[in-house]
Chains A and B, each alone.
Chain A
Amino acid sequence: MLKSVVRAVGAAVRVSNATVTSSVRAAPLRCPVLCAPSSATARPFTRSLWMLSNSGASSGYRPKLFSSKVLTPSISCGCGGLHTEGDKAFGDFLTDEIKEEKKIQKSKTLPKMSGGWELEMNGTEAKLVRFVSGEKVTVTFNVNNSIPPNFGEEVEQGQQKPAEEEPEIVSTPNFVVEVTKQGAKHSLVFDCNFPEDEISHGEGEEESDIFAIREVSFQPEGDGDWKETSYTLNTDSLDWALYDHLMDFLADRGVDNTFADELMELSTAVEHQEYIKFLEDLQSFVKCT
C-alpha cells in the first residue's frame, strides 16, 4: 500500500515549514577543490559540485592554495590592483566554467508564459502582469535562493554515477500573487510556494500539490511596504474548504498548476542566465580588464 497521504500530510507540512533557505551557492566558489573527489565523477561544473556537497562550505576549513603568494603579486597590468597567480588560475577556471554553463544553457531567450502574461525584469526579480476583465493580476518572484538543497542520496566516495541520473537544477522560488480590482484601495495578496516534497527526485510518493498558498492578506496596491498590521491568514491551520476556494480563485485568474509549472521553467532559465552573468562579472573583476 502507498504511504497514506492523510498520514503523511502532517509530516509534509512540517517539512515545508522547515524550509532551508540557504542557497547551495551561498558561499560561491568556496569549496570546489574540497568536493572534487566525490563530484568530479558527476558533472564537471561547479554548480554540481556545490549541489553535491554541503559539508565543505560549513566545515570551517579553508583551502590555503596560493596563500604564500598573496602578498607578492606576480602579474602587473598597471591598474593599481592586486594580481596574483591565484587570480590568474581563478580567471582561467571561470573561463572554462562560463563556457560549460553556456553549453548547457537551453536557450538565450527566456521561455514565454502562456496565458498572456507580460514579463518585466528587474535584476533577479521578475514580475508577470496580466489583466482579466478589469482585474490586474501581478505575480512577482526573485530567483535568489530559489534552488532547494539536494535531498537526494549523497554520492558515495569513488562511486561513479551515470550522467543521466544527475538531478537537473530547478529553480522553485516563492512567489506572490497580487489581485487588484478596479477602484479598490487594497489588493488581495497570496504568498505562494513550491512545497519541497513535490520537487524531490525520488520515485513516486510526491504528495504535495504542485504549488501551495502559504498566506493571504490585504495590502495597499503597488510596490509599497506591506503593512504588518494587516490581518494575515495563515493556511497551516485553515479550513480546507476555504483553502480550496482560494485555489479555485487563483485558477480562475490564470494561476494554476500549468502556470506554476511554467513559472518554474521561467525561473530556472532566469536563474541560469543571472548565474552566467554573475560569473562573467566575476571574471572581469578578477582579471581586471
Chain B
Amino acid sequence: MGVVLRNLQKVVPIRRARLRKDVDTLRHILGIQKFDLGIICVDNQRIQQINSLYRKKNLPTDVLSFPFYEDIRPGKLPCPLHRDELNLGDVFLGVEFVMKQCQEESLDFHGALTAVTAHGICHLLGYRHETDEEWTEMSQREQYILSEFNRLTGRRLEPMMKKCSQDSR
C-alpha cells in the first residue's frame, strides 16, 4: 500500500506531492519500501491533544510516532508473517509547530519537515532517546539517513536531533 498521507489541518499549506516524494526517498534509504506507514499532518491544537492523551504532556510538539511494532530492536526490521503486518505505524507531524520553528530560525519549511519525518520514522523502527546511549545511537542513524538523502537529492538537510529535541517521541 505504501505511504498513506493525510492533511488534517488548514494552518499550513502542504505540498503533498513533495512530502510524499521525500518520504519515499527516506523509505528507500532505510530499505523499508515494502512496509506501509501513515504520515498525518496536524495543527498545534491536534498534536497537543494527542501529546496530552498519550504522553501526558499538554503541549504542542513537532512529531509523535506510534509504532506498529513496539518492541523491536533499533535498526532491526520486523519480520511480519502476514501481509497486513507489513505496517510500521503512524507519524503525526505537527506542521504548525514546525512552521513556527522555521520562521524563528529562518529555516526551509519543507526541508525541516523531511528531517522531522526522518526522526519520526526512526521511532517507528525502534529508536529511542531516553538515555544517552539511545540518544547517540538514534542521532547517528539520523545523521546517516540525512547525509544519504542529501547525496541523493542534492539538498542540505540537517538532522533535528542536533538541536536535541528531547520532547519529540
Do A245 and B10 have beta carbons less than 8 Å apart?
no
**Residues in B44-101 with C-beta less than 8 Å from chain A:** 49-50, 53-54, 66-68, 70, 84, 87, 89-90
Do B6 and A204 have beta carbons less than 8 Å apart?
no
Min distance, Cβ A186 to any Cβ of chain B, angstroms: 24
Chain A neighbourhood of B37, CB < 8 A: 6
Tell me whether B102 is interfacial, beta carbon within 8 Å: no
Do B17 and A244 have beta carbons less than 8 Å apart?
yes
How many angstroms from the CA of A78 to the CA of B97 in the assembled complex? 70
**Residues in B30-54 with C-beta less than 8 Å from chain A:** 36-38, 40, 49-50, 53-54
Which of A175-183, A254-262, A272-280 sits within the interface?
A: A254-262
| Number of B residues with CB within 8 Å of any CB on chain A | 33
Chain A neighbourhood of B147, CB < 8 A: none
Listed in ascending order, the chain B residues whose CB lies under 8 Å from chain A are 1-10, 13, 15-17, 19-21, 36-38, 40, 49-50, 53-54, 66-68, 70, 84, 87, 89-90
Which of A18-26, A134-142, A206-214 sits within the interface?
A: A206-214
Q: A4-B66, A240-B2 are in contact. Are A248 and B7 (CB under 8 A)?
A: no
Min distance, Cβ A241 to any Cβ of chain B, angstroms: 6
The one of A210, A241, A247 in contact with B8, judged by C-beta atoms closer than 8 angstroms, is A210
Do A209 and B17 have beta carbons less than 8 Å apart?
no
Do A6 and B66 have beta carbons less than 8 Å apart?
no
Find the A residue at minimum CB distance from B1: A6
Chain B neighbourhood of A7, CB < 8 A: 84, 87
Chain B neighbourhood of A247, CB < 8 A: 16
Chain B neighbourhood of A256, CB < 8 A: 10, 13
Tell me whether A251 is interfacial, beta carbon within 8 Å: yes
Tell me whether A9 is interfacial, beta carbon within 8 Å: yes
The bracket for how many chain A residues form the interface is: 20 to 34
19 pairs from A and B in contact (CB 8 Å cutoff):
A1-B66, A2-B54, A2-B90, A4-B87, A4-B90, A5-B90, A6-B4, A6-B37, A6-B87, A6-B89, A198-B8, A204-B49, A206-B8, A209-B7, A209-B8, A241-B17, A244-B16, A256-B10, A258-B10
Listed in ascending order, the chain A residues whose CB lies under 8 Å from chain B are 1-2, 4-7, 9, 198, 204, 206-210, 240-241, 244-245, 247-248, 251, 256-258, 260-261
Interface of A is mostly: helix
Do B15 and A248 have beta carbons less than 8 Å apart?
yes
Q: A2-B50, A204-B53 are in contact. Are A240 and B84 (CB under 8 A)?
A: no
- How many residue pairs between the two chains, A and B, have CB atoms under 8 Å in the bound complex? 76
Do A207 and B13 have beta carbons less than 8 Å apart?
no
How many angstroms from the CA of A9 to the CA of B39 in the assembled complex? 12
Chain A neighbourhood of B7, CB < 8 A: 209-210, 257
Min distance, Cβ B125 to any Cβ of chain A, angstroms: 15
Min distance, Cβ B50 to any Cβ of chain A, angstroms: 7
Find the B residue at minimum CB distance from A7: B87
Min distance, Cβ A52 to any Cβ of chain B, angstroms: 27
Q: A4-B89, A5-B90, A240-B5 are in contact. Are A207 and B15 (CB under 8 A)?
A: no
Chain B neighbourhood of A248, CB < 8 A: 15-17
How many angstroms from the CA of A208 to the CA of B70 in the assembled complex? 25
Scoring B9, B10, B53 by chain A CB atoms within 10 A of each residue's CB, the highest score goes to B10
Chain B neighbourhood of A204, CB < 8 A: 49-50, 53
Chain B neighbourhood of A245, CB < 8 A: 16-17
Chain B neighbourhood of A198, CB < 8 A: 8
